[in-house]
Amino acid sequence: MLRRTSIPQPPTQDKRWKIIETTMRRNDFQPQALIESLHSVQQAFGFLDTSAMKWVAAALSVPLSQVYGVATFYHFFTLKPQGEHTCVVCLGTACYIKGSQKLLDEVGRLYSVKEGQTTKDGRLSLLVARCIGACGLAPVAVVDGQVLAKSTGAHLIETIESKIERKQAV
Ligand code: FES
């Protein structure tokens, strides 16, 4: 069997794509790795967007329609956060030890939203990831794609607020 050595560029420079690439590489980029790879995306980003699904499809040489089929069949996959803004808190071991559960609880309490859900006004989705590959920066949270290193509750909430205000000002 021919081993695949290169795959298409990931959608962005985000380091989290490396985790998904590692999952696919471990499976020799075989199509059977589809569900595991999508899990990896969901764990790193909190949801599966179109660019992620396209990339996984190309890297595993499976039709995009098949990726959509799998992503929409299983209820544990989310295709997009429903809120205008997204806060992903990493609960991987390193982040957990450094107090990420507290961050999650703080955001949840302030915005009255549970993990995996969106606020009633649709402004914020609160998602959880299991290691986004930046353990040295623990605890890590990602707000609208912006990675916050060594995050504190105050800084995290300040960042969420600034994103919400900026959007309202536009
Ligand atoms: S455990 Fe959070 S980035 Fe690795």
Nearest ligand 1 atom to the CA of 129 is: 2
Q: What is the pLDDT of residue 28?
A: 93
Tens-digit pLDDT string for the chain (170 aa) = 556 667 899 999 888 899 999 999 999 999 999 999 999 998 888 889 889 999 999 999 999 989 988 988 887 888 877 788 989 899 999 999 999 999 999 999 999 999 988 999 999 999 888 887 789 999 999 898 788 999 999 999 999 999 998 877 76
Is pTM beyond 0.75 here? no
Residue 141: CB within 6 Å of ligand 1? no
Give the C-alpha separation, 56 to 41, whole Å. Answer: 9
Q: What distance in angstroms lies between residue 130's CA and the mean position of ligand 1's atoms?
A: 7
Residue 41: CB within 6 Å of ligand 1? no
Q: What is the pLDDT of residue 15?
A: 86
Q: What is the pLDDT of residue 72?
A: 83
Q: What is the pLDDT of residue 83?
A: 86
Nearest ligand 1 atom to the CA of 138 is: 2
Q: What distance in angstroms lies between residue 2's CA and the mean position of ligand 1's atoms?
A: 33
Residue 156: CB within 6 Å of ligand 1? no
